[in-house]
């Protein structure tokens, strides 16, 4: 197959480094291979008529390396390839994949680079199975994609969370408070454990290890006895209280009923009642997604973008570029989608944290 024109899109939540990938793809494709690059706007939405796509030139990617977000826009409201239609009172799902493939043909796109997380890569995989030459680029804030040591965006998110912990430390100490920081991580606690270790947290609660509030209170009391009248608690948004005895709760369900905020707020309120300290919660939220990417993420994103172009040139489709150690390699998409990489509850990272005296649940 002769490549003349490639398409590219970004899907899912934004992450620092998306623009660095886009820039690397455009520069490498034009400079090294002489291809044309078509930017598809707003994720897969741009492939469903009315389509939204336009050529990306060197000028278009000038100056975007240090900028957060994605110049292509994104969409993260489920797969646009499955449209919900209401016919006579019944909701039906209509597969729009044929329209998307038709659009790709219409645009004369010989290969498609999709940049995104599990959902986006999954759609890419579906398209690949139907014959579209697809190369994936792994992106998550949460770093929970399998088959790659790291996704871009994660390093920046961890730095942002660590800087937040640095800031909370002094307030906690000055006011003898418990400060709770809720970070991203619905299913995997990578941000929480990395930022917690980097920031010197006293308690780290992650989805992979259920926790007893009682244990957290004990840790705070232990610090009190050592003359440390404050504590820093980092909690991933998906952390779960263990189900037993007095402290049994199902935070997610109860909270969503009463709109009482997330696990961080709940935990902060609970600790305020049970620890004898004032407690405050900070929800880091979207601050973790934004901002200029770290040098690490810029390099990783750039290497991914360039590698994706080389994969296209080699005809290595239905694969995702990945980092293994210091090397960039390719992994079949089917091994990457549909499962997540979580923090091993007995692994070295958790062991290291516990060795430092950090309380980690159960």
- Which residues are designated catalytic? 142
Binding to its own copies (CB under 8 A) within 262-291 occurs at: 280-283, 285-287, 289-291
Total residues in contact with its own copies, by rule CB under 8 A: 83
Residue 122 or 156 with smaller CB distance to its own copies: 156
The residue within the footprint of its own copies, chosen from 82, 93, 94, 260 (CB under 8 A), is: 260
> In 26-68, at which residue ranges do the beta strands (DSSP E only) sit?
36-40, 53-55
Residue (of 243, 246, 250, 288) closest to 266 by Cα position: 250
Closer CB to its own copies, residue 132 or residue 281?
281
340 vs 147: CA distance, rounded Å: 10
- Sign of the alpha-carbon torsion through 30, 12, 137, 69: positive
- 299-318 residues in contact with its own copies (CB under 8 A) are 299, 302-303, 306-307, 309
Identify residues 68-107 at the interface with its own copies (CB under 8 A). Answer: 68-70, 73-76
The residue from 106, 149, 218, 334 that contacts its own copies (CB under 8 A) is 149
Q: Which stretch binds its own copies (CB under 8 A): 102-110, 203-211, 241-249, 354-362?
A: 354-362
CB of 304 within 8 A of CB of 152? yes
Q: How far apart are CA 69 and CA 115, in angstroms?
A: 13
Q: Decide: is 335 part of the binding site for its own copies (CB under 8 A).
A: no
Q: Does 195 bind its own copies (CB under 8 A)?
A: yes
Are 143 and 191 within 8 A, CB to CB? yes
Q: Please state, in angstroms and rounded to a whole number, the distance separating the CA atoms of residues 317 and 116.
A: 16
Minimum CB separation from its own copies for residue 351, in Å? 8
Q: Does 27 bind its own copies (CB under 8 A)?
A: yes
When the beta carbons of 225 and 327 are compared against its own copies, the nearer one is 327
- The DSSP 8-state label assigned to residue 33 in this structure reads I
Q: Does 111 bind its own copies (CB under 8 A)?
A: no
Measured over the CA atoms of residue 262, residue 267, residue 272 and residue 273, the dihedral's sign is positive
């Amino acid at each position: 197959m002769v490549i003349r024109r490639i398409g590219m899109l970004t899907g899912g939540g934004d992450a620092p480094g998306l623009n660095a990938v886009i820039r690397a793809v455009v520069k490498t494709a034009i400079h090294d291979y002489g291809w044309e690059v078509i930017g598809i706007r707003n994720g897969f939405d741009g492939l469903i008529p009315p389509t939204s796509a336009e050529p990306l030139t060197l000028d278009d990617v000038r100056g975007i390396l240090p900028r957060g977000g994605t110049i292509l826009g994104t969409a993260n409201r489920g797969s646009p390839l499955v449209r919900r239609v209401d016919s006579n009172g019944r909701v039906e799902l209509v597969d729009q994949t044929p329209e998307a493939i038709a659009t790709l043909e219409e645009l004369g796109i010989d290969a498609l680079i999709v940049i995104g997380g599990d959902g986006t890569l999954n759609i890419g995989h579906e398209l690949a199975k139907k014959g579209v030459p697809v190369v994936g680029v792994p992106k998550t804030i949460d770093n929970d994609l399998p088959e790659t040591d790291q996704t871009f965006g994660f390093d920046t998110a961890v730095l942002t969370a660590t800087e937040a912990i640095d800031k909370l430390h002094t307030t906690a100490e000055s006011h003898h408070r418990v400060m709770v920081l809720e970070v991203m991580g619905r299913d995997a606690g990578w941000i929480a454990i990395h930022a917690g270790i980097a920031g010197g947290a006293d308690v780290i609660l992650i989805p992979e290890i259920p926790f007893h509030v009682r244990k957290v209170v004990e840790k705070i009391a232990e610090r009190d006895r050592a003359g440390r009248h404050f504590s820093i608690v980092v909690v991933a948004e998906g952390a779960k209280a263990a189900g037993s005895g007095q402290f049994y709760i199902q935070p997610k369900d109860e909270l969503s009923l009463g709109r009482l905020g997330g696990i961080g707020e709940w935990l902060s309120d609970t600790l305020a009642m049970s620890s004898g300290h004032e407690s405050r919660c900070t929800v880091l939220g979207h601050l973790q997604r934004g901002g200029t990417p770290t040098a690490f993420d810029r390099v990783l994103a750039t290497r991914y973008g360039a590698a994706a172009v080389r994969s296209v040139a080699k005809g290595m489709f239905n694969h995702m570029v990945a980092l293994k150690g210091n090397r960039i390699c390719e992994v079949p998409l089917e091994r990457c989608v549909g499962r997540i990489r979580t923090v091993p509850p007995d692994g070295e990272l958790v062991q290291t944290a516990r060795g430092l005296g950090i309380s980690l649940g159960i």
